[in-house]
Amino acid sequence: MDPRKKLILKAIVDEYIQNAEPVGSKALAERYNIGFSSATLRSEMAFLEEQGYLEQPHTSAGRVPTSLGYRLYVDDLMHRHRITLEEMETINNALRLKLQEYDRLMEETGRFIARMTRYAAITAPPQPDAVKFQKFELFLADPSSLVIVVVLEGGQVRNKLARLQKPADPADIRRLADALNACFAGQPSVTDTLCEKCALLAGSGAEYLPLAAEFMQEIIKSASTRDSYLSGETQLLNHPEFRDVMKARKTLEYLAEQRQSLMNIPAPPSPDSVRITIGPENVASELRDASVIMASFQMRGGQQGLIGLVGPTRMDYSRLASRLTYIAARLGALLQNDEEETS
């Protein structure tokens, strides 16, 4: 692949990203001073089209990048945008503020990203691959209301209040708590044998073991499904490619209902990079006309969170990627220092 061909392809993609209109040979020759006439460009463009990097919406229209074209652009051609100091400032300020309320951090970060980029933002908090129980505490809020508190390794805390049929004996509760700590601390699951052992230890407190066991199962289950937050979807409607309501509906519906599956996209190789998925490269057919940019960050302990953007294939990949990596990096740095959690 000729370096000149690459230069031309880059120019076409840049131009199209900016103006959202098919790029013709003449306009290209005028605006970018590549030093060749429109005729030369025409033959080069014909070649690029033949190779599948460009396409024409119809004869006698300019050219538009295909997803293959964008792919080459993203991998090879695009000028790696450097984030400005100003943008850094904005991001740092915003994140510092959000950090105040940790449990809504990812949600709020998503809103911020959406506002900043004018695309739909997806965020998912870091999640441990396997949770282990660390500590149990049981007490009575009133004689017939049992509160179960479970601390997980990593610092998450879950609780549940269960109404009892009849008042319980605090001594029984105490015994059950001790038994749970003895049997389940450090365990990643609730097995029958552990339950039996625990029942034995708990003596008459075993009456309440089923309640606790059920709750523990719930915790294991909920910890293995990943949360995710979506914001700024409606901003997609601002972009000309979504002026067709039906197309927009498909995409928005997918984001609202099925976005979980976006999380399955393998995370970017290194924390400083992004993973870009263009149009039909997305497994979901509803995203055939959309691109996804994903970045990840790490918490202490290696748990990995995700932030990402969804937009039409015509996106300013370079600028967006640089912003996203910076946000991810800052988020990672901030979370190294503060990992307190509440629920």
Number of residues that bind DNA (CB under 7 A): 24
Identity of the residue, 114 or 198, whose beta carbon is nearer to a second copy in the bound complex? 114
- Spatial contact of 91 and 327, defined as CB atoms under 8 Å apart: yes
d(CA 5, CA 43): 10
Q: Which of 83, 151, 284, 334 binds a second copy (CB under 8 A)?
A: 151
Residue 336 interacting with a second copy (CB under 8 A) = no
- Residues within window 209-228 making contact with a second copy, judged by CB under 8 A: 215
Q: Which of 18, 31, 37, 143 binds DNA (CB under 7 A)?
A: 37
Buried b (16+ CB within 10 A) or exposed e, 135-172: ebebeeeeeeebebebbbbbebebebeeeeeeebeeeb
Residues paired with residue 157 on neighbouring β-strands, in sequence order: 151
Residue with tokens 């309501």: 245
- Residues within window 51-80 making contact with DNA, judged by CB under 7 A: 56, 58-63
- Spatial contact of 108 and 101, defined as CB atoms under 8 Å apart: yes
Q: Strand, helix or coil at 13?
A: helix
Where does this chain touch DNA (CB under 7 A) — which range of 20-28, 79-87, 172-180, 332-340?
20-28
How distant, in Å, are the alpha carbons of 57, 89, 110, 305, 330 from that of 336? 49, 20, 19, 13, 10
The Cα angle at residue 311 between residues 73 and 281, in degrees rounded to 5: 55
Residue 340 interacting with a second copy (CB under 8 A) = yes
Residue 39 interacting with DNA (CB under 7 A) = yes
Q: Strand, helix or coil at 204?
A: helix
Q: Which of 8, 9, 11, 23 binds DNA (CB under 7 A)?
A: 23
Residue 332 Cβ, how far from a second copy at the closest point, in Å? 19
d(CA 166, CA 144): 6
Residue 193 interacting with DNA (CB under 7 A) = no
- Spatial contact of 190 and 217, defined as CB atoms under 8 Å apart: yes
Q: Which of 79, 85, 86, 161 binds a second copy (CB under 8 A)?
A: 161
Residue 283 interacting with a second copy (CB under 8 A) = no
Per-residue binding letters, 209-248, with DNA (x by CB under 7 A): ----------------------------------------
Residue 64 Cβ, how far from DNA at the closest point, in Å? 10
- Residues within window 246-275 making contact with a second copy, judged by CB under 8 A: 248-249, 252-253, 256
CB neighbours of 1 closer than 8 A, spacing ≥ 6? none
Phi, psi torsion values for 31, nearest 5 degrees: -70, -50
Q: Which of 36, 112, 208, 317 binds DNA (CB under 7 A)?
A: 36
Residue 328 Cβ, how far from DNA at the closest point, in Å? 38
Per-residue binding letters, 79-118, with a second copy (x by CB under 8 A): ----------------------------------------
How distant, in Å, are the alpha carbons of 98, 112, 134, 298 from that of 307? 15, 11, 29, 11
Phi, psi torsion values for 106, nearest 5 degrees: -65, -40
Residues paired with residue 291 on neighbouring β-strands, in sequence order: 278, 311
Identity of the residue, 17 or 23, whose beta carbon is nearer to DNA in the bound complex? 23
Residue 11 interacting with DNA (CB under 7 A) = no
Residue 4 Cβ, how far from DNA at the closest point, in Å? 7
Residue 33 interacting with DNA (CB under 7 A) = no
Tell me how crowded residue 28 is: count the other CB atoms within 10 A of its CB: 21
Residues that bind DNA (CB under 7 A): 22-27, 35-40, 42-43, 45-46, 49, 56, 58-63
Residues that bind a second copy (CB under 8 A): 134-135, 137, 139, 141-142, 145, 147, 149, 151, 155-163, 215, 231, 233-234, 237-238, 242-243, 245, 248-249, 252-253, 256, 339-343
